[in-house]
Structure formats: C-alpha cells, structure tokens
Amino acid sequence: MFEQLQQTFSKIDQDVVLNAWERCNKNVEETKALLIWITENTTNLQQQHHLMIFFQEFGNKLKKTTILQTWKNCNTIFVDTHEKLKEICATSNLNELNVNKIYNKLNKYNIIYDRLKEENELKIYREICLHILWNILKYPKHIKYRQINKQALYNYLFQKCHTLGTDCERVFIGMEGELQHIGFKKGYDDNWYYQYDHIQLLHLWNCYQSVITLQTMYLMCVLINQMV
C-alpha cells in the first residue's frame, strides 16, 4: 500500500510520503488527504518538507487551514511561520484554560446553588414540622391542630418556596411524606387529618426531637462554613 502511495504521489519527496504514512498511523485515506493537501499547496520539495513539519508538530493542535493560512501570511518563511504557530497554540491553550476555569466556576456555583436549594427545602420542612408538632404536643386536646387544610398548606408552601427559590411541587410532595410520618392521613376531601384518636405522644416527641437535632446540625454546619 505504501508503494502505491509513492506511485500516486510521485511528485512528493519519498521522506514526506513516509512521514505522512506514519503520521496517519498507516491509514490510507488519511494519508491520501494529507498528501493531497501538501501537493495542492506547495511548489517545491523544500516547501513540502516545511509543510509536513508544521503538520507533524501542530496538526494535533491546529486545523490544517490555520497552519496553511499562517504559512502564507508569513510568506512561506519557515522560521517566522514556526514562531507564529507556536504563538497561536499558546494563545489557544490559554483560552482553553480560561474556558475550563469558567466552566469549573460555573459548575461550582451550580453545586452551591443546588446545595442552597436543598438546604432551603429542609428549612421549610423543619419550620412546618416543628410548628405542627409543637401545637399538637402543647394542645393535645384541640382538634383544630390535628387537621391541615391542603389548599392552605399549599399556599403557604408556595409563598415560602417563591421567597427561597425552591421547587414548590417537590417540596409539597416531600411535605406530604413528612405528614404521613408524623401520623397524618389524607382524607377523602384531600385534607390531612391526624389518624389516631389518642395522641401518640412518644412518637410525636421523638419526631420533634429529630427535627430539633437536624436544625442544630444545620446551624453548626452554617457556622463552620462561615468560619472556613
């Protein structure tokens, strides 16, 4: 196959053909494309070698059109072209580095934003759960604290989520799970009712303590983050 390439591109120096063959990992089509590019843009053996050298050194970093245009802009002078291509590569690497830095910063900001949303969601859960649990524990005989209107709950969550920038629908679904854990059950009217005739004081107290503990851990994490 290499011999066929030599015959097809007989006007190109054999060393250039061999370098192209090896540079393209002995891929026939890629080698042909490279040799055609050299043939169409050179007029003598020296230019063939120069263009091949540029491609070998900068082909992985720059497009052939960029290499060729830079070579022409430098009046096909080897040293000037080589220095200019090095400068272009350095600038390209710097731009790529800056893009990566910007991407990493954006990624970090997205992580922080997502974390803040999660913390805000937990904040809403804690606030509502503490309110519900405290009212039942403090006023165990008051029926009104064992009933939660779905629409009123949703309206309150919507306002809180809008203020804190969280997903209201997701928080609402999560809040329903919290209500079930506390001991509430959804009625036929979609409102929530405490399902036990006798208050489960121990369970409610444990739930309350868990929320308090979670809140304390959250405040400690906030303080630690501020100190770091």
pLDDT of residue 220: 46
Residue 178 amino acid letter: E
Q: What is the domain-level CATH number for residue 170?
A: 1.20.58.2190
Of 76, 98, 129, the residue at which a domain comes to its end is: 76
**Residue (of 43, 45, 46, 48) closest to 34 by Cα position:** 48
Shared-domain flag, residues 68 and 134? no
pLDDT tens by residue, 141-157: 888 888 999 999 889 88
pLDDT of residue 74: 86
pLDDT tens by residue, 161-188: 888 888 888 888 888 888 898 899 999 9
- Taking phi over 0 as left and psi of -120 to 50 as alpha, with beta for the rest, 186 belongs to beta
Q: Count the domains in the chain.
A: 2
Write the DSSP symbol of residue 149. -
Domain that includes residue 180, residue range: 116-227
- Tell me if 106 is assigned to some domain: no
Cα dihedral 172/178/179/181 (nearest 10)? 150
Residue 186, SS3 per DSSP: strand
Shared-domain flag, residues 59 and 136? no
Shared-domain flag, residues 144 and 214? yes
- Tell me if 36 is assigned to some domain: yes
Shared-domain flag, residues 214 and 144? yes
Shared-domain flag, residues 70 and 121? no
Of 76, 97, 124, the residue at which a domain comes to its end is: 76
pTM exceeding 0.95:
no
| φ, ψ for residue 148, nearest 5 deg | -130, 120
Q: In this model, does residue 7 exceed pLDDT 80?
A: no
Q: In this model, does residue 221 exceed pLDDT 80?
A: no
pLDDT tens by residue, 80-129: 888 888 888 877 765 565 556 656 655 665 554 556 667 778 888 888 88
**Residue (of 93, 133, 43, 65) closest to 54 by Cα position:** 65
Surface-to-core class of residue 184, CB atoms within 10 Å of its CB (0-12 exposed, 13-18 middle, 19+ buried): buried
